[in-house]
């Protein structure tokens, strides 16, 4: 009898890896590595250069500053990296930020971080790279309950069930924190209050496999979070609903594989802001952004196959968004006197083709894209609350353009596990509706929108060497990136004073406008190392950059300065080790050099070292008790500084305890 080989074809709801990713700077984190912190954004910061706009985490950061960027080139509140979950963008349709509390790590099987501008299948938003999150699957339950200092409480669970060709996977979590006052005791006044968090989310995915290699998957999720913002009378709320439908067929031999996906993301946001009196004696409401309904929707399609030893993929994708900010402002004699509605719509869509050829130890890859973008229906309408009379009606003409981008790379593998690679790429990011159309006030600072903003573009080249096998794996990459037309908050003037459109800016405040500012050159070096032996795992990583702004004619005063909130050096490290008797320990260390809170490099935020550790006790194969300490050195981590010299700080030392459960059939 001749034995027959049965080919097993596995298809999942997440997109297959891009064909030539091995030629680029890629970091992969497993599920266990994403469980090192209760906040997913903190766990991801094992990758140096990955950060939110400021140096605080999603535990305390305002939702509108939770955009994520890579490589420390120039952090942005809107974010310069694309975040996807099984192919669906997680960036907010109005502001581009990411609501990290809606993404519990218990529901994830891993993450892949691609550094460098993403052309090929990624498209708009992957300016400094892309963070692809992978939702878990399979039978079993993964749960966690914890609590501790600062009134922190968290409950999370995720699990899957399978019946023949049908499977379900669901997750839910809730967390809250009584927070801390971010201003130091020597500077705080009656205006200062705690930053708090109360968040919850839930999601469900259903999959059906009608035939071998074909999958139909539907996903729906919802989230809500509420925060006190650190000043008396100020708070925020973010909520949303996401849904997607995916139909995919895996590549099988010479047969083509394909994928179709449609998605929508509905979001809401509200917040209040306040002006701060001299001596921080009291606050006065300055803005009530009482509703910001936004809707994003899109889809993608791809066809993949092999032709003459060439793996290839062609596809298209499209994303659209519309939204409006509704707010009351001009608080006079105990009441708001003006109402403002600002917003518009945007669209970006493109075609791409990517191919990779494996010739022995060589990998050659090339990807091409062409995208069209538009900004439409931009408006800002203000009216008096007392009479309804329109006091300002601004309408901006629609704008559009076409952007070609590309990426390519070469990799050479050696038998010892050593490899060499080089790559070049370009990418772009379309301005968010928030950046284009919504002015706002935060504290005593007034920031104006700019409907004339154009897409940011990034160009880069890099060369890397590393080793991918054995107990010791490592990678070292030198790169040069240039961010062209960077959207930056540029200081126009200092208060006090009255300004057209912006109104009155008080003493200690700034008048700021979003602008496309020349270029940001960012040459750098990054590396990471992992060593595993006898159950002990060591890890270390770093990046060092020399980011410099060339303001050009738009902002010559910024030439030679560093981008705001961009550290030059970041180092991370840690280890995991068994202690015997069911006990084990893990540690994490992060160092960041000094950075500036402002574009003029006048407000310096000092360097910081943050140390964390976890002690585990495995009660059984399925139950683990743990004690975790964050910021064990109680470092004062400065996150921002106002023009009058008041500094805000991230969380002090916190100790929590918890129990995690993981079962499998």
| Cα–Cα distance for residue pair 565/520, rounded to 1 Å | 14
pLDDT, mean of residues 304-316: 91
**pLDDT over 70 (residue 656):** yes
Tens of pLDDT, residues 216-270? 999 999 999 999 999 999 999 999 999 999 999 998 877 899 999 999 999 999 9
| Cα–Cα distance for residue pair 352/406, rounded to 1 Å | 9
Tens of pLDDT, residues 553-567? 888 989 999 999 999
Of 162, 200, 160, 158, the residue nearest 660 (C-alpha): 158
Whole-structure pTM value: 0.93
Tens of pLDDT, residues 261-295? 999 999 999 999 998 888 899 999 989 999 999 99
pLDDT value at position 268? Answer: 97
**Beta-strand runs (E) in 360-389:** 362-384
**Which segment of 110-114, 416-420, 640-644 scores lowest on mean pLDDT?**
640-644
User: CA quadruple 230, 634, 199, 433: dihedral positive or negative?
Assistant: positive
**pLDDT over 90 (residue 309):** no
- Asked if residues 115 and 49 have their Cβ atoms less than 8 Å apart, the reply is yes
129 φψ region: left (φ > 0), alpha (ψ -120 to 50), beta (else): left
Tens of pLDDT, residues 377-386? 999 999 999 9
H helices within 172-330, ranges in order? none
pLDDT value at position 2? Answer: 41
Instruction: Kindly give, in sequence order, each residue whose CB lies less than 8 Å from that of residue 215, ignoring residues fewer than 6 positions away.
Output: 11, 12, 13, 207, 208, 209, 246, 247, 248, 249
pLDDT value at position 447? Answer: 84
Tens of pLDDT, residues 26-45? 999 998 899 889 899 999 99
pLDDT value at position 124? Answer: 85
pLDDT value at position 301? Answer: 96
**pLDDT over 90 (residue 416):** no
| Cα–Cα distance for residue pair 89/96, rounded to 1 Å | 10
Banded pLDDT at 19 (limits 50, 70, 90): confident
Banded pLDDT at 499 (limits 50, 70, 90): low
Mean pLDDT of the chain: 92
- Asked if residues 191 and 281 have their Cβ atoms less than 8 Å apart, the reply is yes
Banded pLDDT at 496 (limits 50, 70, 90): confident
3-state SS, 260-302, equals EEEEEEEEEEEEEEEEECHHHCCEEEEEEEEECCEEEEEEEEE
Q: Can you list the domains of the chain with their CATH numbers?
A: 21-663 (2.40.170.20)
Question: Could you give the percent of the chain with pLDDT greater than 70?
Answer: 97
pLDDT value at position 501? Answer: 67
What length does the chain have?
Answer: 665
Of 412, 410, 411, 407, the residue nearest 424 (C-alpha): 407
pLDDT, mean of residues 299-311: 91
pLDDT value at position 505? Answer: 72
**pLDDT over 50 (residue 3):** no
| Host H or E run for residue 335 | strand 335-359
Token pair of 48 as six digits: 């140096």
Of 200, 297, 323, 319, the residue nearest 244 (C-alpha): 297
**pLDDT over 70 (residue 600):** yes
pLDDT value at position 337? Answer: 94
pLDDT value at position 582? Answer: 94
Tens of pLDDT, residues 43-81? 999 999 998 999 999 999 999 999 999 999 998 888 999
Of 554, 544, 617, the residue nearest 583 (C-alpha): 617
Of 438, 443, 338, the residue nearest 62 (C-alpha): 443
**Which segment of 15-24, 176-185, 415-424 scores lowest on mean pLDDT?**
15-24
Token pair of 333 as six digits: 């004699």
Q: Give DSSP secondary structure letters for 550-589.
A: E-TTT-GGGTTPPPTT--SEEEEEEEEEEEETTEEEEEEE
Tens of pLDDT, residues 98-152? 999 999 999 999 999 999 887 678 788 899 999 999 999 888 899 999 999 999 9
| Cα–Cα distance for residue pair 358/370, rounded to 1 Å | 26
Banded pLDDT at 312 (limits 50, 70, 90): very high
320 compared with 10, residue with greater pLDDT: 320
**pLDDT over 90 (residue 552):** no
pLDDT, mean of residues 533-542: 93
Q: What are phi and psi of 151, to 5 degrees?
A: 65, 30
């Amino acid at each position: 009898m001749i034995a027959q080989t049965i080919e097993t074809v596995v298809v999942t709801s997440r997109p297959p890896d891009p064909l030539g990713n091995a030629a680029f700077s890629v970091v992969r984190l497993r599920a266990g590595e994403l469980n090192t912190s209760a906040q997913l954004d903190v766990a991801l910061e094992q990758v140096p250069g990955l950060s939110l706009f400021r140096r605080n985490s999603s535990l305390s950061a305002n939702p509108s500053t939770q955009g994520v960027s890579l490589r420390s080139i120039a952090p942005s509140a809107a974010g310069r990296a694309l975040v996807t979950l099984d192919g669906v963008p997680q960036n907010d349709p109005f502001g581009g930020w990411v609501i990290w509390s809606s993404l519990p790590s218990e529901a994830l099987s891993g993450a892949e971080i691609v550094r460098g501008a993403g052309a090929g299948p990624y498209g708009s938003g992957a300016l400094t790279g892309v963070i692809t999150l992978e939702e878990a699957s399979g039978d079993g339950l993964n749960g966690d309950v914890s609590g501790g200092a600062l009134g922190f409480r968290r409950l999370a669970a995720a699990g899957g069930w399978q019946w023949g060709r049908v499977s379900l996977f669901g997750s839910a979590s809730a967390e809250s924190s009584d927070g801390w006052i971010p201003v130091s005791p020597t500077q705080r006044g009656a205006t200062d209050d705690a930053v708090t968090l109360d968040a919850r989310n839930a999601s469900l995915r259903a999959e059906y496999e009608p035939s071998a290699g074909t999958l139909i998957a539907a996903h729906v999720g919802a989230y809500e979070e509420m925060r006190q913002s650190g000043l008396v009378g100020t708070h925020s709320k973010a909520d949303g609903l996401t849904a997607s439908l995916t139909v995919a067929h895996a590549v099988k031999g010479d047969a083509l594989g394909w994928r179709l996906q449609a998605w929508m993301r509905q979001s809401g946001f509200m917040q209040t802001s306040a002006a701060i009196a001299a001596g921080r004696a009291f606050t006065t409401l300055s803005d009530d952004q009482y509703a910001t309904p936004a809707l994003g929707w899109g889809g993608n399609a791809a066809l993949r196959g092999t032709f003459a030893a060439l793996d290839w993929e062609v596809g298209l994708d499209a994303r659209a968004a519309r939204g409006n900010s509704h707010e009351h402002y001009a608080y006079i004699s105990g009441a708001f006197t003006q109402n403002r509605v600002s917003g518009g719509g945007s669209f970006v869509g493109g075609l791409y083709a990517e191919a990779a050829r494996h010739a022995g130890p060589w990998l050659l890859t090339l990807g091409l894209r062409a995208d069209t973008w538009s900004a439409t229906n931009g408006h800002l309408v203000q009216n008096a609350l007392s009479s309804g009379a329109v006091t300002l009606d601004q309408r901006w003409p629609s704008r559009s353009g076409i952007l070609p981008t590309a990426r390519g790379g070469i990799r050479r593998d050696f038998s010892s596990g050593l490899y060499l690679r080089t790559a070049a790429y370009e990418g772009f990011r379309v301005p968010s509706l928030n950046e284009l159309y919504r002015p706002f006030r935060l504290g005593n600072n007034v920031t104006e929108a700019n409907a004339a903003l154009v897409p940011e573009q990034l160009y880069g080249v890099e060369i890397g060497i590393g080793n991918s096998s054995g107990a010791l794996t490592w990678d070292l990459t030198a790169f040069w990136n240039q961010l062209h037309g960077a959207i930056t908050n540029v200081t126009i003037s200092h208060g006090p004073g009255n300004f057209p459109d912006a109104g009155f800016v008080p003493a200690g405040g700034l008048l700021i406008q979003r602008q496309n500012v020349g270029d940001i050159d960012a040459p750098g070096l990054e590396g990471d190392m992992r060593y595993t032996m006898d159950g002990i795992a060591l890890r270390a990583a770093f990046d060092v950059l020399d980011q410099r702004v060339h303001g050009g004619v738009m902002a010559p005063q910024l030439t030679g300065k560093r981008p705001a909130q961009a550290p030059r050096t970041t180092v991370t490290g840690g280890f995991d080790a068994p202690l015997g008797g069911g006990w084990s320990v893990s540690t994490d260390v992060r160092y960041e050099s000094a950075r500036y809170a402002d574009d003029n490099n006048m407000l310096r935020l000092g360097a910081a070292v943050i140390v964390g550790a976890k002690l585990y006790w495995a009660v059984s194969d399925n139950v683990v008790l743990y004690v975790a300490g964050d910021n064990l050195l109680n470092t004062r981590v400065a996150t921002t500084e106002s023009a009058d010299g008041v500094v805000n700080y991230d969380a002090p030392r916190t100790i929590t305890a918890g129990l995690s459960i993981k079962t499998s059939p």
